[in-house]
């Protein structure tokens, strides 16, 4: 017997370590200024690997995907699997103009690349709290 669980609005969005997105708030101190400072990773092979894994845009399915580093900030992009989002040029530019929410981007990562999702690491790379709501596209 195969049971197919349909994702519900209340699902926990667990990452590759089994951490539920909502539980990160209990794992890190309330003030991001108290979070450990982490060094960015510089390794072009990580992007190459993502390009080998994903040929289609996570948002619209178009080809010619580009690797977007979400948590670049002032410290520069980190070449880590959890930080890279594969999007076509149009969706990629929409990310940079914030035409769609970070919450949706997080959802797309979780949906398409769950094995490479590490919610705590994402927060540390980001340096501030990511949006509470993971937005599922209608
Ligand atoms: Zn796209
Ligand atoms: Zn980008």
Report CA(49)–ligand 2 centroid distance (Å). Answer: 17
Q: Which ligand is nearest to the CA of 65?
A: 1
pLDDT per 10-residue tile (average), the chain, 138 residues: 50 92 93 90 94 97 95 75 97 91 93 96 92 74
Q: What is the distance in A from the centroid of ligand 1 to the CA of 38? A: 30
Residues listed for the chain: 138
Q: How far apart are the first and last CA of the chain?
A: 30
* % of the chain with per-residue pLDDT over 70: 87
Q: Is 65 within 8 Å of 113 (Cβ atoms)?
A: no
pTM, entire model: 0.86
CA atoms within 13 A on the CB side of 104: 14
Residue 8's pLDDT is 45
Residues, CB within 5 angstroms of ligand 2 (ion): 68
- Nearest-ligand number for the alpha carbon of 97: 2
Sign of torsion, CA 99 81 54 137? negative
């Amino acid at each position: 017997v195969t049971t197919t669980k349909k994702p519900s609005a209340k699902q926990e969005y667990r990452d590759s370590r089994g951490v539920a997105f909502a539980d990160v708030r209990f794992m890190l101190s309330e003030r991001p200024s108290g979070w450990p400072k982490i060094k960015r990773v510089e390794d072009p092979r990580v992007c190459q690997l993502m390009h080998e894994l994903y040929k289609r845009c996570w948002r619209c399915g178009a080809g010619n995907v580009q690797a977007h580093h979400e948590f670049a900030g002032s410290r520069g992009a980190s070449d880590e699997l959890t930080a890279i989002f594969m999007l076509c040029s149009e969706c990629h530019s929409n990310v940079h103009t914030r035409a769609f929410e970070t919450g949706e981007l997080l959802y797309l990562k979780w949906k398409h690349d769950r094995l490479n999702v590490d919610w705590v690491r994402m927060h540390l790379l980001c340096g501030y709290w990511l949006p509470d709501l993971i937005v599922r596209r209608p």
